[in-house]
A and B are shown apart, each in its own frame.
Chain A
Amino acid sequence: MVKKKVAKVLDLRYVVLAGILIILAGGLVLLPKYEKHEGIKPEQLLSNVISPERYISTDKLADILINQDPSYLLIDVRDEESYTKYSLPNAINIPLKKLLSEDFEAYLNQDQYNVVLYSNDNFYADQAWIICNRLDYKNLNVLKGGINKWYETIINPPKPTENMPAEAFELYTFRKAASMYFGVAYPEQFKAPVAKKVVPKKVITVKKKKKAPAEGGC
């Protein structure tokens, strides 16, 4: 009797398996859909945001630009108008609003270059950095202080006062030299041409030796 019952149940095994498949497939259709989380995890993003590792100082950037390091890519996230007015040399303009458009993805989503993002301050550049970092783009940096800081430190460096340490003077000379590289002229560069003293020609008479007459004789 038991065997017969088991056999009866087992007869249905293919029907049961087919039912399981249909239920599972139907479950996929009925499951509530949710927006998939793209990019890195929120915890990772938070710890990245807190870390100041992304910042690059204006002095470092000036050094990079002067040495013409080819591995750096400058990206200006301000709008086009500000970009055409003034920007850093060889920078690419990617306005923050168009950051995720496909035209610019190749610049941001790569691991060949170190990308430096900047805006007027580091505020918008930080926003761009967070968006890109969330998408797990690599090698992104933010210029600390942005163009304003660049102007204050590199283009128009403050002169150190006398009571400052020697490092401040060294930094000043570096910044001054850098600003000269970026086209700033200093008054002391243009020294008035020193009038040459006219030195009267001194005539030195060289007495010619008289040929001594042959003396004696043989």
Chain B
Amino acid sequence: MGPLIPNGIIPQDWDSIIAILIGLVFGFVLEASGFSSSRKLAGIFYGYDFAVLKVFFTAAVVALIGMYYMDYLGYVDITQMYVHPTYLWGAIIGGVIMGIGFVAGGFCPGTSLCAVAIGKVDAIVYVIGIIIGVFIFSELFFLFQPIYEGYFMGNITLADSLGVNPYWFIFIFTLIAILSFVISDIIRKRNKKIFY
């Protein structure tokens, strides 16, 4: 039956409208759970708040398990799902830059826009920084192009590239997630209470 849009159950023309609706809800939930505060976000690097880790890891695990159950029951065809293409070195270098920006600025791109919406000055500066970065990247694209378009691995998932059974992979991934939650809780308890 699903995915709904590729199989024509929802017409393709609706996808930008659906994207806007999902975006609104996503932004609202981010704001409501305190993700528009750079202090909360940066907490993961200083060990006093692991909300980011918990939220995104849980989201990934729940979506993964739910998706594979839907696939098993025949509601969704997992082979039709969009898998983001992997450009290995582009992803690694981009990830490092993004990580440095995250520690230094206290936002990731999504949450920074969320914080701009509630009028945080640091977020506004951060977004201006993003725009400058985008401008530099576009102007010097010819320099970055070999990395940007090279090392293409195809539309592969982690289970594909490791060559393991996806069901076992999910199980182990879930265990890792829960283990990381436990460890992060222990670390948080050791830290003295920080008010932010």
Contact = CB atoms under 8 A, between A and B. Distances in A.
A14 B61 CA distance: 15
Contacts of A29: 167-168, 170-171
B36 to A, nearest CB: 24
Contacts of A31: 72, 167
Interface residues of A, number: 10
Given A29-B167, A29-B168, A21 B72 contact: no
Contacts of A21: 61-62, 65, 174, 177-178
Interface in A8-54: 14, 18, 21-22, 24-26, 28-29, 31
B128 interface: no
B6 to A, nearest CB: 14
Given A18-B178, A18-B181, A25 B72 contact: no
B178 A22 contact: yes
B68 interface: yes
Interface string B58-82: 0001100100110010000000000
A14 B171 CA distance: 18
A28 B171 CA distance: 8
A29 B69 CA distance: 11
B22 interface: no
B178 A28 contact: no
Interface of A: 14, 18, 21-22, 24-26, 28-29, 31
